[in-house]
Every structure is written in structure tokens, then in C-alpha cells.
Amino acid sequence: MVPWCQSPCWLNSSECHHLCWLLVDISKWPCSRPGVPADLLAKFVAEYLKPQLLAVGCADGYLRVVSEETGESLVSKHLSGGALRSVTYSPLGKSIAVGCADLCVVDAESGATILRKQFANGAVKHVSYSPCGRRLAVACVAVHIVDATSAETVGDMSMASGSALTLSYAPDGSKLAVGCDSGTLCVVDTKSNALIPRLEQHFAQSPVVSVCYTPGGESLLAGCHNGHLAVISAESGQVQRTIESSIQPLASIALSPCGSQLAACFFDAGKREPRVCHPTCKEEEDANALKLGTTVESSCSLAFSPCRRHLAMGCLDGHLRIIHARTGDIISDTNFTPPYFKYSAVQRSVAGSTAVWSVAYAPCA
């Protein structure tokens, strides 16, 4: 009789793969030596083996919390008559902030509304939690800093170079990167709410649609509407590397939790490919670094799983697709398009009403 640990059922299971990745990670830890507490290892094993959850914001105004494994919607809540352009979990995963016509914060488990706040200068385009979880940065036309508990506005910043489109906090919370529709990337000191002039970048009048910091905070990555990607020093503001894509317009970029992979997806009426590259490889390696791609319908949003093995992609056709980050294989495909659209001749024209505009994985506790 074959032991269960050698059976094809176990060896081919996602649990086995998660456990193998965990052991690889543990081998790289500074504390990976005899004497590491068993309860600490058990905690990480449990986190890697439990099903991953995603927050999904759709164009029909619904926020859904979805199981990555089954595609089942565990929470479904209607928040707006318009699209949910941004969703993000709090650092501890207890709440979800949503950008739509207003700023909404809901309980991640029940979907109950915790707070709701309107802004006079327009709909919310993007929202980001500070690393400590006490503040929310909100991009409307201007940037607003909001207390995550009381909803009180504690700071307002107007972007002289255009309207804010996207936001990202540095890992230590000391800086806030802001991408604008004028093609300007601004960096704000979060203590003084003042712009840092030496870190400002301009990208040939192409809107900066997505920004993120590397896990160590040493670099800032910016993605522009024209497909231009830049890796920028977070201290000096100098561009360290650029990646040019023949595909445009760019919809979103995402960085893996360990910072070793940068993924970009593209918004287009035709079929396009999400691309994955290593953000620190040399320029002469760019062509090889961008080879991985998975052909899917036009994509709107992208997020890496905490274990970095999977990419969640929200698409214009109303599908949430889970993609293997190394092979590009589509692992699962969940359709949020209403059944009566499924075989309709006008599906392509109406599918945008259920487009998955934003996705975010729940953090590991």
C-alpha cells in the first residue's frame, strides 16, 4: 500500500504545493536553525494551507469576498450604483476599504458597513491603507488622508500637476506615492503632508495609472497608460530601469510579496496578455524577462497571492481568473456575468456592467 504522503492525490494537491513553498521560504529565514519554536512553524504552515480569500470590486457596484479555491462568494454587498474602482484589505485583514462614488469601509467577514464618507471633489479613484492601518489615503481629484476609525479628514493635498489616479504607501509609512493623470509621479512626506520635489517624475504626458513600492522600500515602481514601466530609487528619485511594452494601454501593475516578480496587465478591447518580469534584472535581459504571458480577455486589475504563487486577474468580461505566476496557466475562472448575458449576442457590449475593476488578496494573519 502506498503511503498517503506519496500518493498522486496528495502530491498533485494545492496543499502539498503550498507546503513545499513554505519549506523553501523557511530555509531562507535568518532564524532557520535548530531551535525555531514549533508553534511558530505550525502557525505559518496553517496560514499557507488555509484557502485564500479575495475582495473583488465589480462595475455593477457589488463588493464580493471570494474563495480562491472554490470561486464561491462568501460576502456579496451592493455599495454603489457605479463601479468599485479600488478595493484593499486593512493590514490585519479585518476590514476592506472600497473606492466608488464614496469611500466605504466594510467588515471583511460580515460585509457590514463600518464607515462611509463622501468627498466634494468627485468619486474615489483609489484607496490605500497606511502600513499601521490607522490612516486611509484616498485619491479623488486631490488626495485626502482619512482616519480609518472615525472617518475624520486629517489631511488634504491638491496635486498642482493634475488629478490623482493611484496611491501607494512606502512600507514604513513615511512616504506616499501619487500617480496623476498629467503623467506626473509625486511623493508626499506623510508627516508634513508636503511634496518632496527631488522625487518628482514626469512621463511624457501619459497618465501614471499604477504605483507600488518594493517590500524593502528602496524602490518605487510606476506604470503609465502608454505601457511604460519605470523602477525608481525611493531615496534619490533617479530612474534605475525602464521597461517598454508594445502593448497598451496599461491597466495595472502588481509586485509579488517578496519583490522578485513584477506583473502588468493591459486594458484593451482585444485579447491581450498579462506579462511577468523580474524588476531588478538587467536591461539586456528584458526580452527574456517579459516572455511569460497568458492570453485572456481585456484585463482591469491584478494582485499577487500572499504565497506569491498565484495572480488574480479581474477582467472586462466579468471574469475573475487565477493564474499560476510561474507557468502562466489559468488555474480557475469565476464568472460574475449574469446568466441571461451568457449566450446573448450583445454580451461583449454589456459585459462591462459586471467588469471586475479591482481585486485584492486578504493578507496572512
Lowest mean pLDDT among 9-23, 147-161, 222-236: 9-23
Q: What is the largest CA-CA distance in the chain?
A: 72
Give the Cα separation of 351 and 252 in Å (integer).
20
Q: Residue 27: phi, psi to the nearest 5?
A: -65, -20
Q: What percent of the chain has pLDDT over 90?
A: 40
| Domain spanning 245-365, CATH class | mainly beta
User: Cell numbers of 7, please?
Assistant: 500518493
Q: What is the CATH number of domain 52-155?
A: 2.130.10.10
Give Cβ neighbours of residue 160 (< 8 Å, ≥ 6 apart). none
Q: Grid coordinates representing 86?
A: 479600488
Residue pLDDT, tens place only, 57-111:
998 899 999 998 888 999 999 997 678 999 999 999 999 999 999 999 999 999 9
Mean pLDDT of 140-154: 92
Residue 337 is predicted with a pLDDT of: 78
Q: Of 22-31, 152-161, 325-334, give the lowest mean pLDDT range.
A: 22-31
pLDDT at 348 over 50: no
Q: Give the separation between CA 303 and CA 61, rounded to whole angstroms.
A: 20
Specify the pTM.
0.81
Cα-Cα-Cα-Cα dihedral of 68, 294, 24, 279, to 10°?
Answer: -120
**Could you report the per-residue pLDDT of 240-284, keeping only the tens digit for each?**
988 877 677 888 999 988 888 888 888 764 444 455 554 444 433
* CATH 2.130.10.10 domain residues, the chain: 52-155, 245-365
Q: Write down the pLDDT at residue 14.
A: 55
Strand ranges, E, within 108-193: 113-117, 126-129, 135-139, 143-147, 153-157, 164-169, 175-180, 184-189
